[in-house]
Amino acid sequence: MADLLTATARKNETEKSAPAPAPSAIARARDLPISTKHATMVCHAIRYKNTAAAKKYLQEVIQLERAVPHPRFNFDLGHKPGMGPGRYPIKAAKEILKLVKNVEANAQVKGLNTTILKITKLMANKASIPQRGGRVPGAAKSSNLDIEVKERRGESKIEAKHKKFQQKGASKTSTEKKNNETNKR
């Protein structure tokens, strides 16, 4: 009996010590009529950006102002100004833009601050391929999309390193001042 009590007490201790999961929101879209290759490249371009920057980027792609880089799937693909091989996947960008807006709405319903949301997971996968009938049978393109966003809390790693570097510089200058004062005496 005592072993059972200690086991449950240990279980409760481990449950309490585990950190709370970061607040997040997810959205999924299934069987979208878009190219999986184009969706993959758009996802690669906006992954780990905040949602406001991602929406702006996708709007620019839709308006043919900015190309999406294609480090993969680039055979016989022309270079675009200011970058290597790229395309303007309008259809994929429209669907992903809808998904980003949808996940922002989901985050707002969950009570998250939508101004500091960062895309932490964004992926495109091939969906099932329904066969088309008719005189010449064929298959339709379709993709599945998943997105997850989390609130950015605190500073980024770069900001933290910059702050640490500034503090080191400030501490060196203060110690140098102390050394100079002791040397003058």
2-46 pLDDT, tens digit per residue, is 555 565 555 555 555 555 566 899 999 999 999 999 999 999 999
What confidence score (pLDDT) does residue 130 get? 78
Fold adopted by 22-153 = Ribosomal Protein L22; Chain A (3.90.470)
Q: CA 97, CA 101: separation in Å to the nearest integer?
A: 6
Residue 49 bridge partners (DSSP)? none
Q: Which of residues 15 and 167 earns the better pLDDT score?
A: 167
Sign of CA dihedral 58, 61, 62, 63: positive
| Per-position b or e across 1-35, b if 16+ CB within 10 A of its CB | eeeeeeeeeeeeeeeeeeeeeeebbebebeebebb
Secondary structure in 3-state letters for 104-139: HHHHHHCCCCHHHEEEEEEEEEECCCCEECCCCCEE
Sign of CA dihedral 67, 72, 73, 79: positive
What SS3 class is residue 69? strand
Give residue 111's region: left, alpha or beta (phi > 0; psi -120 to 50): left
> Is the separation of the CB atoms in 41 and 73 below 8 Å?
yes
88-139 pLDDT, tens digit per residue, is 999 999 999 999 999 999 999 999 999 999 999 999 999 998 777 778 777 8
* H or E element in which residue 23 lies: none
